[in-house]
Amino acid sequence: MKAYSLQEVQRHTSSKSCWVIYNKQVYDVTEFMLDHPGGDDLILQYAGKDVTAVLKDPLEHEHSDAAYEILSENCIGVLDDSAIDAGHGERERLHRQRMALLEQEEESKTYSLADFRPKETDTLADMKTNQFLDLRKALIPQFFHTNFTKEFYLEQVHKPRYLPHPAIFFGHPLLEPLSKTAWYVVPSLWLPFAAYQFSCSWAFDMHYVSIFCFCLGILIWTLLEYLLHRFLFHVDDYLPDHQMAFLIHFTLHGFHHYLPMDKLRLVMPPTLGIAIAYPLVNLGFFLFPLGMAHAVVAGGVTGYVMYDCTHYYLHHAKVFKYHFREMKKYHMAHHYKNYEDGYGITSKIWDVIFGTKLMYTSARS
């Protein structure tokens, strides 16, 4: 039989040409997709990938002998292991290992249910079993006495825990309040600033230009939302193997995956928000003429407020069925199925454009 490299298989990931790997053999399932009982989207989720573990996992779907017979009819060759790039193969191994840890959690099977409620973590048992952070103590000071490996840290910080109250972050009477932010602080702080910026643009008497630039600012924010989430908050592969690097990662975004339902640590604290906004606002005024820049900044800040409020809404509300119900499932899948894809919060548009759209199947009620 003909031998195919992994790179060759990974080029066939569309409805026009869909290949998968099973037990080191390559299958062209393009025609079968139309007849698949679970729909073609489910197969496309694994296009160009190894489905051996998925087909054998009863939690995903238990396949009949007939299904394997149909699969065998579509075999076109074998996988050439010698052609697999060592670095890429290691990356795939790490991805499977990290996601397997998530699959062990009960919430990975129930996150898409309308009445999803995570189970409270037994803090004593968690510490004894995982030997990560002690949820009964202040979290940040513990990093000054840890000796985690990078892979252990990444696996554990992305394994969700749940407390009925806000965790102790700094454990300092002055710093602790700064780590807590109620959701309504974000619109209360940033919308007046956005309104001021837009009024400055409006004063230039270019009203249509102001409206256009305001909308452009919102669009620019959606891209920034994606880029920041993917390349700053999830800089996992490039994270230095050092405890202080883990501390910075944990402070910026790791905490949110570690305790995703902490209501007072979900939206961005004003101090961090200002630190990130300052260079971005200055960049806006550098790139655009003054009258346009004010409107672009106003739109960008409004987009940010929409993002942070939507993020809180998806985590803590029974959401409106149009758009938000789907985005809630999508974002919960990012937490509980695959945190290395699905970076969009308000929409999937940039995930689709950049090839990081997260495919998932909803849990049965």
Summarised one tens digit per residue, pLDDT across range 46-90 is: 888 888 777 765 555 566 777 788 888 889 988 876 655 555 566
Residue 151 has pLDDT above 60, yes or no: yes
79 three-class SS: strand
Contact assessment for residue 9 and residue 19, using Cβ atoms and an 8 Å cutoff: yes
The whole-number pLDDT of residue 364 equals 47
Task: Give CA–CA dist 350/307, Å, rounded.
Answer: 14
Q: Tell which residue, 103, 27, 30, has the closest CA to residue 60.
A: 103
| pLDDT band for position 103 (cuts 50, 70, 90) | confident
In eight-state DSSP terms, residue 145 is G
Q: Among 70-84, 160-174, 223-237, where is mean pLDDT lowest? A: 70-84
Q: Among 35-49, 116-130, 157-171, 241-255, where is mean pLDDT lowest? A: 35-49
Q: Which of 28-42, 91-105, 281-295 has the highest mean pLDDT?
A: 281-295
Residue 365 has pLDDT above 70, yes or no: no
Give the percent of the chain with pLDDT over 90.
61
Residue 224 has pLDDT above 80, yes or no: yes
174: left (phi over 0), alpha (psi -120 to 50) or beta: alpha
| pLDDT band for position 136 (cuts 50, 70, 90) | very high
327 versus 6: the higher-pLDDT residue is: 327
Residue 184 has pLDDT above 50, yes or no: yes
The whole-number pLDDT of residue 182 equals 96
For every residue of 196-264, DSSP letters joined together read: HHHHHHHTTS-HHHHHHHHHHHHHHHHHHHHHHIIIIIT-GGG--SSHHHHHHHIIIIIHHHHSTT-GG
20 three-class SS: strand
Across the chain, what does the average pLDDT equal?
Answer: 88
The whole-number pLDDT of residue 82 equals 61
The whole-number pLDDT of residue 121 equals 94
Bridge partners of residue 26, in order along the sequence:
21, 77
Residue 211 has pLDDT above 60, yes or no: yes
Residues 6+ apart with CB under 8 A from 323: none
Give the percent of the chain with pLDDT over 70.
93
Q: What are the angstrom distances between the C-alpha of 183 and each of 48, 125, 190, 269, 311?
A: 41, 31, 12, 10, 10
Q: Among 34-38, 208-212, 277-281, where is mean pLDDT lowest? A: 34-38
The whole-number pLDDT of residue 67 equals 77
Contact assessment for residue 42 and residue 33, using Cβ atoms and an 8 Å cutoff: no
Q: What is the mean pLDDT of residues 26-52?
A: 83
